[in-house]
A and B are shown apart, each in its own frame.
Chain A
Amino acid sequence: MTEIAIDVKHLTKKFGTRTVVNNIDIQVPKGKIYGFLGPNGSGKTTTIRMLCGLLTPTSGEGKCLGLDIMKDALLIRQKVGYMTQKFSFWDDLTVRENLEFTAQIYEMDNAAELVDETLIKLGLKKRENQLVGTLSGGWKQRLALSACILHKPEILLLDEPTAGVDPKARREFWDELGRLSDEGMTILVSTHYMDEAERCHELVYIAYGNLMVKGSVNEVINQTHLKTLEVSGLSLPLLQKQLEQDPEIAAMSLFGGMLRICGNDEQKLVDKLQNVKKQYSLTWRKSNTYLEDAFIYYLKKAQEN
């Protein structure tokens, strides 16, 4: 049986009367990359903050590396690296000073060595005395990751780490995550990018504070039982508008010159298209359901509840 690094049950967070995270269960296996998906404001950041002891859950229980998230927040922080959504290292400290500060806070024995090692690995040795505020976004992101893993944490929590980063840097970033995971680090990462979601061993999708689905990419897609058609024709945006309110259609999106239509009953979808086939000169074919289709489906489902 695989070991579980993060194990939380019935996790709930309320701010006043507003429930931001509602009764969520998450089990993250050790050494895996666990994707955390959901629309903006769905409670991803709040959940991550609760996992590393930055916020106290209103109710629920859970363990991080066997430590109680309600009581042992400080001990958990020693073993967890957390990369915040917004860059949160000190702009008015140099690259070296930021790393040194981090190493000292975690009471690393070989702080100086570690910092040098990290600087070289990062390729920032030449710029070690540059103020962090003057670095470009890509460099800041790499620095933040290096600083977060400086103390060799067992769990890495990443909150939308690649937002606003170019594809090449993103790819390199994920290659690095792959290496870390291979070395046994457990990684929980929130993202909006589908390609990143597909790189995760397991996923969880939350919307409006509720956990909608979890499992591997294929499991998440298969659990929707969606059938998908790729439709070509004229004035597809008009068609999309026309079908928008249709209860049979679970998700719909324009993809280049095609409209992807998903629904639980393929025959009903075909019937609908037959009705307007001439009007829009439609042709269609069956397609695989993508992860994005699944997420749109779950979001819609969450909105209906």
Chain B
Amino acid sequence: MHFSWQRLIAIIKKEFIQLKRDRGTLGMIIMLPIIQLLLFGYAINTDPKDLPTAVISENNTFLTRSIITGLQNSEYFKITHHISSDKQGDELLRQGQVFFVVSIPDNFTQNVIRGEKPEILLQADATDPTAISSAVSSLNGIINKVIQENMKGNIAYLKNKPSSFSIIVHKLYNPEGFTRYNIIPGLIGLVLILTGVMMTALAITRERERGTMENLLSMPVKPLEIMIGKIMPFVFIGLFQVGIVLLMAYFLFSIPILGNIVLLFLCSLVFIVCNLAIGFLISTIAKNQTQALQMSVFVILPSIVMTGFMFPFQGMPIWAQTIAKCIPLTYFLRIARGIILKGAEFIDIFPNLWPLGVIVVFLTIITMKAYKNTLD
């Protein structure tokens, strides 16, 4: 028996009709993104450490080494990249690989000694203001310490001039440090998970509980037709929800959408399919609707807590970060923030897009294996 478009379309149509008559679900689809968006206007402060930092320094002297060590010792900064150009720095920031780029100008040490008061530039990724605020406010202390420790001998006179050099902080992407800048792109992901996973988790269990699955299975339908047919309506619904959140973000919270909106929708599509695959898998395993909902919570909760949606990713211990790397929202969050707040392009988000693709393929294979086209 061949795959049949007619059967597939019949199933999709049926799902849509049933959805249309299900007031509760319909309300959830529209109200959920709106309520979430209003609820998450505020965020929670935390104090993450070891934020990845890149350093541009041609000037390698006792003073610059001391400054870099000072940054490291503060525990807020973790030097992960030594680079040579601003362009590289921009790239690392945009891709989210580092939170900070520290640029120490040429002839820095000589200029300090000559009393020219040179400036160090610290560029910070401010999309997640809570993540960087502690680090930024620790800077003054670090500078003072460096001066106290290094201005000895014949340059000891510099010690008493407090501003022998300074650090200029340049907050990128979210200069005012609005928390909602950070939360709202993530909210797209959360809304998609909540509706996507839960709705599809109920898709098969509901038919099974009502006894209609027996009827459906006694008809000549292929597993793939049922799977796609059940999932397809929620793909459209997901894209619709992305639209709602973006519209509200733009008009209600005045969040600039810097990147390509088509790219954002395409990435959302991958993420939606990912969620639906999870939901469908739950639906296949769960015995009834209650169980399906319980299982959904197990997926949704870590997504909220562990992916960097509410708390900075870097604030978590390594083991938690490792677990979080298996959660799709982790990647989508970075993609959505990158595109909306940083104007990231395909090349920038690709490192976070391919893991999503891998997860989708993996889940699809498992679901196909787990799904039974009988009542066994």
Contacts and interface: CB of A to CB of B under 8 A. Distances in A.
Interface of A: 49, 52-56, 73-75, 77-78, 80, 82, 84, 86-93, 97, 100-102, 104-107, 131
26 contacts: A53-B374, A54-B214, A54-B375, A74-B1, A74-B220, A74-B373, A75-B1, A77-B219, A82-B218, A86-B214, A87-B211, A88-B211, A89-B215, A92-B21, A93-B17, A97-B14, A97-B17, A100-B10, A101-B14, A104-B6, A104-B7, A104-B9, A105-B7, A105-B10, A105-B219, A107-B4
Nearest to A93: B17
Contacts of A82: 215, 218
B113 interface: no
Interface residues of B, number: 28
A104 B10 contact: yes
Contacts of A75: 1, 220
A89 B4 contact: no
A93 B220 contact: no
B222 A74 contact: yes
Contacts of B10: 100-101, 104-105
A93 B14 contact: yes
Nearest to A80: B218
B210 A91 contact: yes
B132 to A, nearest CB: 51
B4 A55 contact: no
Contacts of A87: 211
A90 B217 CA distance: 13
Contact of A106 (B211, B219, B374): B219
Interface of B: 1, 4, 6-7, 9-11, 13-14, 17-18, 21-22, 210-212, 214-215, 217-222, 373-376
Contacts of A89: 212, 215
A92 B22 contact: yes
Q: Which of B1, B11, B220, B373 has the most CB of A within 10 A?
A: B220
Given A82-B218, A105-B220, A107-B6, A55 B376 contact: yes
Contact of B374 (A56, A90, A100, A102): A56
Contact of A105 (B18, B221, B374): B221
A141 to B, nearest CB: 14
Contacts of B373: 73-74
Contact of B220 (A77, A88, A90, A97): A77
Q: Which of A54, A75, A82, A107 has the most CB of B within 10 A?
A: A54
Contacts of A100: 10
B366 to A, nearest CB: 21
A292 B129 CA distance: 82
Nearest to A78: B220
Nearest to A58: B376
Contacts of A97: 14, 17
A303 to B, nearest CB: 28
For the complex of A and B, 9 pairs with smallest distance between CB atoms: A104-B10, A88-B215, A82-B218, A77-B220, A78-B220, A88-B211, A74-B1, A105-B219, A86-B211
